[in-house]
Structure 1
Amino acid sequence: MKYRPIFITATNTGIGKTYATCRLIETLSHKGLHVGVLKPIETGVKEFPIDGKLLLETAQKYNKKLKNFTCRDVAPVQFLLPASPYVSREGKKIDFKAINLAYEKMLHVSDIVLIEGAGGLMVPVDEKIYMYDFIKKFNAITLLVTHANLGCINDTLLNRKILDSLKVEYQWCINFKENKNSFQTTTLPYYKKIISLQDDIKILSDNLLKLKK
């Protein structure tokens, strides 16, 4: 059975998209699914794409069909400068054909493809395209990862407002990299009910799969 892809985004860079994607790879694989991965654009690449390499190595542990795949198959567009694709490309055109081909190749060996964005939803790719455009491009549902620091209510609501305006199906979760104690006091009273990336990954994956019907 083929599932719609899941696009993993976050309220900002460094929030935990790659960590969340790896957790999903493990959880969905344990459900018996062959999981594929794609990082359409990765910036800050020197010898190899750090995120793309980790995604591939994690997926290869479970999906043996990925044995001969390379980092370029996962991260087809790579730039040296660690900035938004718009800036990192240094005036060059984004190779969307390479992204499409990488996605099609991954589809052939996967039941579901996890697509990790770069930065957040409003990161500019070129003059016309933003990171959120990949959601519609791949007909994906979305996982929004947010942080647990003071200010996460504002960051989360802003990003959810964007997703609501796009009329896309999504789930959101909190990555508790920080101490939970302050969160309990400053933020939880507003949310009341949350999904933790650390504690509720099985619930989260089930919720995402339900959206795929």
Structure 2
Amino acid sequence: MTQCLIVTGTDTDVGKTVFAAALSGALGAYYWKPIQCGLAEGGDTSRIRALSGLAPDHVLPEIYRLEMAASPHRAAEAEGLEISIAKLKLPEAPGPLVVEGAGGLMVPVNRQTLLIDVFASWRLPVVLVARTALGTINHTLLSIEALNGRNIPILGVAFVGDEMPDTEQTIAEMGNVRRLGRLPHLDTLTRATLSDAFASHFRVEDFR
């Protein structure tokens, strides 16, 4: 199988979708978000298309498309559904594949399974996206501990936000993980500004 990566976050709204768009565009990858919640508020796939510059066939269809902006298990239940783990099989892609999770690691997919358990079954390396704001050391180290506890390989941590050198160094050292880079907040978020920011703050070869 060609290079496959999971992009997940320490929490919801940490910037992982914007980061996933930047990474997918830089790699010329295929992008897949198997569970999309919050379609009533727009959803992430359209943002990925706009920000990554990927060809339409490089943005793969979701397995579950749910209206409510909530945890996957709750959003599915609101539509009379239960998410089947058996349906969450990795797609075949002829090039690199970036898989984006829904929310943080410990969100329930259904009443029996957490998202991190799905990741463990896939056995793919994870890029953990973390804020640089106050509280991120705790959230990020807890996420790293959870991934390690299930023997999920961690490629590294990608930070989003203002530069916080000590925070980033503390997480990298105490979590024994690689600091991949930091995506700054952009006053104007477009495909061009995002691509430039990624190229300036990350090394694409670290993700290959």
User: Equivalents in 1 of 2:20, 2:12: separation in Å?
Assistant: 14
Say whether 1:127 aligns with 2:120. Answer: no
> How far apart in 1 are the matches of 2:160 and 2:119?
21
Q: Distance in 1 between matches of 2:122 and 2:205?
A: 21
CA shift at 1:74, angstroms? 2.4
1:51 to 1:188, Cα distance in 2 relative to 1, 3 A: closer
Against the structure 1 CA distance between its residues 120 and 63, is the aligned structure 2 distance closer, same or farther, given a 3 Å change threshold? same
Distance 2:75 2:54 in 1: 33
2:167 partner letter: T
Q: What's the counterpart of residue 93 of structure 1? A: 82
Give, in whole Å, the separation in 2 of the partners of 1:192 and 1:94: 34
Q: Is the 8 A contact 1:123 1:130 kept in 2?
A: yes
Specify whether residues 188 and 63 from structure 1 end up closer, same or farther in structure 2 by C-alpha distance, changes over 3 A only: closer
Amino acid at match of 1:173: A
Partner Cα distance (2:36, 2:102) in 1 = 7
Aligned to 2:95: 111
Distance in 2 separating the partners of 1:189 and 1:145: 15
1:188, distance to aligned residue in structure 2 (A): 5.0
RMSD over equivalenced CA pairs, Å: 2.6
Residue 37 of structure 1 deviates from its aligned partner by: 1.1
- Cα distance between partner residues in 1 of 2:172 and 2:128: 18
**1:174 to partner: Cα distance:** 0.9
Specify every segment of 5 or more residues in structure 2 that has no aligned partner in the other structure, as ranges: 174-178, 184-199
Counterpart of 1:145 in 2: which secondary structure? strand
2:33 to 24, 36, 39: 39
Q: What's the offset of the Cα at 1:200?
A: 3.1
Q: Alignment partner of 1:114: what SS?
A: strand
Secondary structure at the counterpart of residue 82 of structure 1: coil
CA distance in 1, matches of 2:104, 2:171: 22
1:159 aligns with 2:143: yes
Paired residue for 2:167? 187
2:64, 2:72 → 1: CA distance? Answer: 9
User: 1:190–1:46: structure 2 CA closer, same or farther, 3 Å change rule?
Assistant: closer
1:77–1:98 Cα contact (<8 Å) kept: no
- What's 1:52 paired with? 45
Q: Tell me, in whole angstroms, the C-alpha distance in 2 between the residues paired with 1:56 and 1:207.
A: 23
CA distance in 1, matches of 2:54, 2:72: 31
Q: How many residues align?
A: 184
Amino acid at match of 1:200: H
The higher-RCO structure (CA 8 Å, 6+ apart) is 1
Query: Is residue 146 from structure 1 mapped to residue 93 from structure 2 by the alignment?
Result: no
For the Cα contact (< 8 Å) 2:8–2:103, is it kept in 1?
yes
Structure 1 runs not aligned, ≥5 long:
30-34
Give me the whole-angstrom Cα distance separating, in 2, the residues matched to 1:128 and 1:152: 28
Q: Alignment partner of 1:87: what SS?
A: helix
Q: CA deviation at 1:206?
A: 2.5
Which among 33, 41, 63 is matched to residue 76 of structure 1? 63
- Distance of 1:192 and 1:4 partners within structure 2: 24
Letter in 2 for 1:85: P
Measured at CA, do residues 166 and 4 of structure 1 come closer, stay the same or move farther in structure 2, by a change above 3 Å? Answer: farther
3-state SS in 2 of match to 1:23: helix
1:192 to partner: Cα distance: 7.5
Identity of aligned residues (%): 23
One-letter amino acid of the structure 2 residue matched with residue 141 of structure 1: P
Q: CA 1:62 to 1:118, structure 2 compared with 1: closer, same or farther past 3 Å?
A: closer
